[in-house]
Structure 1
Amino acid sequence: MTHQILLSFIRLPLLLRTFLIAISLITFFGIIVHVIEPESFPTIFDGIWWAIITASTVGYGDYVPHSVLGKIAGMLLLVTSAGFLSSFFIVLATTAAARQNDHLEGKMKYKGQGHFIIVGWNERSREVIYSLINDQKSVSIALIDETLKENPLPYNNVHFVQGSPSHDEALMRANIQSALKVIITADPTKAELQADMNTIITLLAVKGLNPHVETIVEILTTEQIANANRAGADEIIQTNTLSSFIMLQSLASQDIVTSFLDLLYQLTEKKLVFIDASHEQLEQEFMDISVRLTQEGRLLLGVKRGGATILNPPHPFTIEKHDQLIIIK
């Protein structure tokens, strides 16, 4: 029985073991000095108080042993308990520093819920994180990247996970089971096809651990769009297609590109949102709903129906079940 207790004690963390030894010795000598000099230490609490003050080398002097045995007990207390108490604070400081380093270096597990997971560190993910923090002060973000050595944005609401996003261990440390959305960006250090393949592998790993989490993926090559859909992507962003469109329009007129970019900035500032059509809006005309929303200070741009986005639909156009209204708030 004693052997099992000793083994259980040895298995405890070093910080807890040091604390238990120190507090046990302090309590022991507090009781001993009360027994030796009950007139100087009327209660056990007074003895323990004296032991704590003595072991911590503060020495208030409100309780002092006068007998030889009492002074010997004080000497033994200083020789034994003071060392363990100092060791406890040293281990405590070392543990706190180690945990801080582990947190900065992406080795700690994220324990929050309802957060965003962003895969890959690049200019796109940087802008996404900045925008999320500015728009939603309470948002929590877990950033997964295997190339970084420490958190590039050590904010309170940005948790860094160092590791490969296609490995279960890294995704588990990002608490993928409780994530709200996952954004997977393309790796700019790899060729486009290789980057897309890594993105799809990461997507498969994400969906394997949490099939219900909403995923937004960046695909560079048109050929891999179908594979991304098969892997379960909820939204696919074709950055090369968008870039090619802007470049093509710039050949026709620089003013068109400038106006287009200004429009994108304004849409970002004014919150472009997709809202499910309410029960009252079903079977109503698009123009009638547009007039009412305009009076409320909201602009109705179009309707998302299934996989199709219909901007400024021709009149008459009736709102159906499962339609989403595209609105600028």
Structure 2
Amino acid sequence: MPLLRRDLGLDGCPCARPDLSDDWIRVASGVYAPRGAWQIAAPQDRQRFLIAAARRRYGSDLVLSGASAVVAYGLPLVGAAPRRVDVIVRRRGRAYTSLLRRHLAREEVDVVRVGDQAVAVLPDTLVDLARWHGVMAGVAAMDAALNQGMCGPKNLRAALERLPAGSYGAARARCAVHLADGRSESPGESMSRVRVWENMLPQPELQVTVHAAGQRYVLDYFWPGIQAAGEFDGRVKYRSTSFGADPEDVLWNEKLREDAIRAEGLGVARWTWMHAWSDGGRQMCQRLAGIGVVPVAKRW
């Protein structure tokens, strides 16, 4: 739970600074978080904390959109953790506080409730996420929403069409809607696909089934003209708590799987989040280049 300055009984005592201790960190004016928990928190967890603080300070009638609404919908938030809560307002005024980022609502934006929180409808939320926080964030959340059946491609295109001409970030939103694909099964797969697009690698087919050594395998990415397969390795499947499987068994089965696929004449490249995220995906691209997946003349 966020700790507000008023909770400490320190009003009128300017020398009292919780963030100067080892226990607290200041995350907004008058808002403090436990230092250790904040430093290791994922972007969506930090955003939940800020939303709770904003509701306590400004009231529960705030209307969330963008990154904040994405978190309320339970969708992934990929990229740098937003430092403010995205809210929409009906009249112009101060755009920023230390805790809020206020956006002027479009006339057509509808508001629904998720739990006890007012949020912009999902397609508008996703388009606004891409506009305000970038293509990567937009695609990851859009992929998840499509994969879970929370909205469809037509809904995203309709939300794009509702944007007024010249809207800030509209080009980013168009790219995100173009790239969104519900076949993606994790934020890591979505992020990797955006890196493929950014680095002008050829468009892969997704979730392609191949048969090798009498087994059926589903590939994350497949380039049929190159006979190459790409696999994103999520760390979760190697943890001891993952689906009750022993990590050593998981690693061994992955090796057998890769050997069988290679035996069918396919090149296989594997990468982790770090390889795809760091330095614009340079290490992921190097691994793909090793199996013949190299840049083409233009993006798809």
Structure 2-normalised TM-score? 0.32
Structure 1-normalised TM-score? 0.30
* Bigger share in strand: 2
* Bigger share in helix: 1
- Flag the structure with more relative contact order, 1 or 2, with Cα contacts below 8 A and sequence separation at least 6: 2
